[in-house]
Chains A and B, each alone.
Chain A
């Protein structure tokens, strides 16, 4: 079913691309095509901006081999929502090297956008945002991931993210002592 939808979208995309070059067509690792506004793509992604400026955009679908169709769909969805819903929202460049740097809290729609994602989808999206150099989307997704860890013990975090405890016995004892040392008063 997904394949059919992909083909349908592909044809549609080509038609639109011929008529209107205000968009770019992106191709996921599994060959699905997605269309996104050229302006939004260039504004939100440093990598896409570079490709557009450098003329390495393929009208038949620019290959993004590192990004799966679901993640790319979310990326495109984010770009379109960003372009439509809040055109005035200026991107605040949040310098990563400063804890105290002004990070603009996610907007309501951005919050909803990441909240509806499954853990898998969130993981793929944050990697895609990183790969495409989408600073704001990276900010929003990383913020969401950090919220999932807030106030949780190591065990709880492992459960949330399905992470295996891979410490050796000795390391574990060292960490246990460190935590006890710092967080339980005599």
Chain B
């Protein structure tokens, strides 16, 4: 109320700033504003307002540390690729997390791997692009967190093994097999057998959180996986085994919090 009367005193019916020089907003404040605004809105306008604002938008790699392509909607693949390039250029090699979304293809992922060698977190949704996830993560030695959803992978167990072998230092891993509901009912699509892991994983010394959404893991396989992850704290599985078996497993591994989700 007070400030309203203040501005009215100075300039009746004023709508825009009367005296404040917004172009000269201190850089650390503008930086915070830009962070809240989000990358897409910075692209669409804020970075072209004036030279001092542009200096912040282009000269602060920290603004571009977390690249999330899932927020870029309604544009062609070509434009998406250009936006990604600009994002990566502005991050100046400091990008730490990348989320690709449903339209991220192999060429985009390759670009990210080249331009973000210190990536710590990678989130992908492989929607029939046949992305070479394993090839990409081999080139990311600092990767700590990986989240991938596959549509119809060739063999989930083999994929899981390859991922673990490529990145044995992961701290958080989430692999999800997305396929149409009726495919689950057709048991032939899923290799369920009572034996141990067909493709054993290496010891994952740093893995604390593991999420495996796939219906083919039997109790024996889960035991083998847990035994290969000495510091595992959280295991999230699809209800591939009965609730009683989950309770048995939970009783056996007190250090672990096991969540069995129902989809």
Contacts and interface: CB of A to CB of B under 8 A. Distances in A.
Interface in A148-169: 149-154, 156-167
B154 interface: no
Most buried by B among A99, A116, A157, A171: A99
Contacts of A91: none
Contacts of B54: 175
A176 to B, nearest CB: 9
A154 to B, nearest CB: 4
A100 interface: yes
A149 B37 contact: yes
B2 A70 contact: yes
A127 B26 CA distance: 8
A161 B97 CA distance: 33
B65 interface: yes
8 shortest interchain CB distances as A-B pairs? A123-B20, A118-B7, A121-B3, A161-B22, A119-B17, A146-B36, A162-B16, A99-B66
Secondary structure of the B side of the interface?
helix
Interface string B70-94: 0000011011001100100000000
A146 B97 contact: no
Contacts of A127: 26, 29
A156 B16 contact: no
B201 to A, nearest CB: 29
Interface string B26-41: 1011011111111101
A166 B2 CA distance: 33
A73 B118 CA distance: 46
Interface string A132-158: 000000110011011001111110111
A48 B31 CA distance: 23
Interface residues of B, number: 51
Nearest to B97: A100
Q: How large is the interface on A (under 10, 10 to 19, 20 to 34, 35 or more residues)?
A: 35 or more
16 contacts: A99-B38, A100-B66, A117-B3, A120-B17, A142-B36, A145-B33, A149-B45, A152-B45, A153-B45, A154-B46, A157-B46, A163-B53, A178-B48, A182-B86, A185-B75, A186-B78
A164 B50 contact: yes
Given A73-B2, A116-B3, A167 B50 contact: yes
Given A123-B17, A179-B48, A138 B32 contact: yes
A96 B29 CA distance: 11
Nearest to A131: B26
Contact of B51 (A99, A151, A166): A166
B6 interface: yes
A118 B3 contact: yes
